[in-house]
Amino acid sequence: MSPVDPRFHQALDGDIAREGVPPEVRRAMERLDAAAALLAVVPTGASVEARVMAEIRRPVPSRARRLVRWLATPHAIRLRVRPAWSLALAAVAALLTLLSEGDIEPELGGQEGIAQFVGRFPGARSVHVVGSFNDWRAGTIPLEDRDHDGVWRGAVVLPVGAYEYMFVVDGERWVPDHLADRSVDDDFGRENSIVIVRAAGR
């Protein structure tokens, strides 16, 4: 068949009846239909709903708020302060762990571990952690500040893996964990913290 046989396109465009074209042209049409049919299959198991809804649920800070936050963040000092805070918070966490012998230890599967979340938010009324492990739904995993010293803590049993997360302070202010070992830019120009959960006992 000549590729420019006008009946080929006319029939495919519905301008003339398919039955009226010569067999050679019809075979070419069938080859093209078969090729298109191969592509007309949705990738199995693919869904972006959870990912999109998670992003939508995250509030977009205004430019003014981002500017204020940037100005309020101790950029120059943070490098000096971070190790001290890390050590201090680690010490607090270790101390509280030792003191809380009465707490019930969760039973962990072989491929589970505990993710510890610690953040310093003096004056906060509530702090929650949201992340890829809970579909970025605010309000589901609260942190606690039992001794009212402004340090909020919480632990979550999760399957082994790496998770992105942020804190939600007072139900409206989304902030990354500046003490996190790692952070990553999400696809939408913001920064998420990373927690790596390793199997318990390792």
Partner 1 sequence: MDVRGDPSDPEVVARVLGGDQEAFGLIIRRYEADLLRFAAGMLGSRDAAEDAVAESLVRAYRHLGGLNAPARLRTWLYRIVANRCKSHLARRPARELSLDEAPPVADPADTEASLERAEQVALVQRALAELSPEKREAFVLKHVEGLSYQEMAAVTGERIPTLKMRVHRAREALLQALEDA
Residues near partner 1 (CB under 8 A) are: 3-4, 8-9, 12-13, 28, 31-33, 35-36, 38-43, 46-49, 51-53, 55-57, 60, 187-188
CB of 177 to partner 1, least distance (A): 23
37 vs 76 by CB, closer to partner 1: 37
Distance (Å, rounded) from C-alpha 200 to C-alpha 157?
A: 10
51 vs 78 by CB, closer to partner 1: 51
Q: What is the DSSP letter of 18?
A: G
4 vs 79 by CB, closer to partner 1: 4
53 vs 87 by CB, closer to partner 1: 53
CB of 197 to partner 1, least distance (A): 24
CB of 47 to partner 1, least distance (A): 6
Pairing of strands 161-169, 151-159: unpaired
194 DSSP β-pair partners? 164, 182
28 vs 158 by CB, closer to partner 1: 28
36 vs 71 by CB, closer to partner 1: 36
C-beta of residue 191 within 8 angstroms of C-beta of residue 184: yes
CB of 143 to partner 1, least distance (A): 24
39-to-13, 54, 119 alpha-carbon distances in Å:
19, 29, 49
CB of 25 to partner 1, least distance (A): 11
Alpha-helical runs (H) found in 40-163: 49-57, 63-72, 75-99
CB of 40 to partner 1, least distance (A): 5
C-beta of residue 113 within 8 angstroms of C-beta of residue 197: yes
